[in-house]
């Protein structure tokens, strides 16, 4: 009995992984890269000085909020720490970098009728009667935001006559547009991309 009480006490002290998320614990970091690219072959990079805003695959324009600027600076810091040199767009950089705000809205319908399934006609003295319950429908709309970092191969663009995306990072979840998320989130994206470094 004492052992069971001890186990119960320990279980009650455990952190609920869903309800007690704090700060960047509620954020998700996703990276993707081209397997055929040798990242050490690149030496220089340039980054756009404003942030495109994309909603439901539509380009809405560019902006530069305080958090946008923090993301741009965090990307500069991470790439220079990995051996790349920041140059201007006019200096023919090997890599081009864009930071974007991405919003996607999803909608749906909820049927509330199922909540009436527990109705008991016998309780009201109408045993043997058939019954029905109405369906009530509600709609919902959820907009989720994310910060996206995309890196393009400009070094080989003239030869291939196309600009190839070689790496992308996506940061989504609670607080992604905060200043603190910029440095920690961008670092987390590059930390899980250990191949991304110059010689």
Specify if 173 maps to a domain.
Answer: yes
Mapping DSSP to helix (H, G, I), strand (E, B) and coil, where does residue 116 land?
Answer: helix
How many whole angstroms separate alpha carbon 154 and alpha carbon 93?
7
Specify if 6 maps to a domain.
Answer: no
Specify if 9 maps to a domain.
Answer: no
Mapping DSSP to helix (H, G, I), strand (E, B) and coil, where does residue 30 land?
Answer: strand
| Structural domains counted in the chain | 1
Residue 135: predicted pLDDT: 57
Domain that holds residue 165: 27-107+146-191
Residue 52: predicted pLDDT: 94
Say whether pTM exceeds 0.75.
no
State the average pLDDT over residues 12-26: 46
Residue 105: predicted pLDDT: 85
Residue 162: predicted pLDDT: 82
**pLDDT, tens digit, for every residue of 72-124?**
999 999 999 999 999 999 999 999 999 999 998 888 776 655 555 555 556 55
Q: What is the dihedral of CA 118, 123, 129, 132, to 10 degrees?
A: -30
Specify if 34 maps to a domain.
Answer: yes
H helices of the chain, in order, are 2-13, 66-81, 157-160, 179-191
How many whole angstroms separate alpha carbon 26 and alpha carbon 50?
26
pLDDT confidence bin for 129, thresholds 50/70/90 = low
Specify if 10 maps to a domain.
Answer: no
How many whole angstroms separate alpha carbon 54 and alpha carbon 154?
23
Mapping DSSP to helix (H, G, I), strand (E, B) and coil, where does residue 35 land?
Answer: coil
Specify if 151 maps to a domain.
Answer: yes
Specify if 138 maps to a domain.
Answer: no
Residue 74 sits in a domain whose CATH number is 3.30.160.670
Nearest to 97 by CA among 109, 111, 87: 87
Q: What is the chain's percent helix, strand, coil content, to nearest 5?
A: 30, 35, 35
Please report which helix (H) or strand (E) contains residue 98, including its range.
strand 95-111
Share of the chain above pLDDT 90, in %: 55
**pLDDT, tens digit, for every residue of 179-197?**
989 999 999 999 999 999 9
Decide if pLDDT at 21 tops 70: no
Decide if pLDDT at 125 tops 70: no
């Amino acid at each position: 009995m004492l052992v069971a009480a001890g186990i119960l006490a320990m279980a009650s002290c455990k952190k609920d992984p869903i309800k007690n998320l704090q700060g960047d614990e509620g954020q998700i970091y996703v990276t993707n890269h081209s397997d055929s690219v040798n990242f050490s072959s690149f030496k220089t990079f340039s980054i756009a000085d404003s942030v495109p805003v994309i909603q439901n695959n539509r380009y809405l324009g560019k902006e530069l909020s305080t958090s946008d600027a923090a993301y741009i600076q965090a990307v500069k810091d991470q790439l220079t720490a990995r051996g790349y040199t920041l140059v201007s767009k006019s200096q023919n950089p090997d890599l081009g970098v864009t930071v974007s705000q991405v919003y996607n809205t999803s909608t749906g319908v909820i049927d509330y009728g199922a909540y009436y399934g527990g109705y008991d006609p016998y309780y009201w003295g109408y045993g043997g009667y058939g019954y029905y319950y109405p369906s009530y429908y509600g709609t919902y709309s959820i907009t989720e935001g994310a910060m996206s970092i995309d890196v393009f191969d400009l070094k080989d663009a003239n030869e291939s006559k196309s600009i190839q995306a070689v790496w992308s990072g996506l940061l989504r979840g609670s607080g992604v547009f905060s200043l603190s998320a910029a440095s920690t989130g961008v670092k987390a994206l590059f930390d899980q991309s250990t191949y991304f470094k110059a010689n």
